[in-house]
Amino acid sequence: MNDFSIRLARAEDAEAIHRVEDDAAARFHEYPALAGVPIPPTTSAEDHARLIARGRSLVSVVDGVVVGFAEAAPIGRDLHLHELSVSMRHQGRGIGATLLEALAIDARNAGYRAITLSTFRDVPWNAPFYARRGFVEIDGCEDYPHLSESLESAVVFGIPKDRRIAMIRFLD
Q: What is the pLDDT of residues 52-67, one digit of tens each?
A: 998 789 999 999 999 9
- pLDDT (average), residues 61-79: 95
pLDDT band at 172 (very low <50, low <70, confident <90, very high): confident
User: Is the pLDDT assigned to residue 11 strictly greater than 90?
Assistant: yes
| pLDDT over 70 percentage in the chain | 99
Q: How many Å apart are CA 57 and CA 74, to the nearest integer?
A: 11
User: Is the pLDDT assigned to residue 143 strictly greater than 90?
Assistant: no
Strand-strand pairing, 58-62 and 65-75? antiparallel
pLDDT of residue 166: 94
SS3 annotation, the chain:
CCCCEEEECCHHHHHHHHHHHHHHHHHHHHCHHHCCCCCCCCCCHHHHHHHHHCCCCEEEEECCEEEEEEEEEEECCEEEEEEEEECHHHCCCCHHHHHHHHHHHHHHHCCCCEEEEEEECCCCCCHHHHHCCCCEECCCCCCCHHHHHHHHHHHHHCCCHHHEEEEEEECC
pLDDT band at 1 (very low <50, low <70, confident <90, very high): very low
Q: How many Å apart are CA 160 and CA 138, to the nearest integer?
A: 18
pLDDT of residue 2: 67
The CATH superfamily holding the domain 5-170 is: Gcn5-related N-acetyltransferase (GNAT) (3.40.630.30)
Of the listed ranges 30-44, 50-64, 118-132, the one predicted with least confidence: 30-44
pLDDT of residue 36: 86
pLDDT of residue 40: 85
pLDDT of residue 63: 95
Average pLDDT across the chain, whole number: 92
pLDDT of residue 158: 83
User: Is the pLDDT assigned to residue 139 strictly greater than 80?
Assistant: yes
Domain boundaries of the chain, sorted by first residue: 5-170
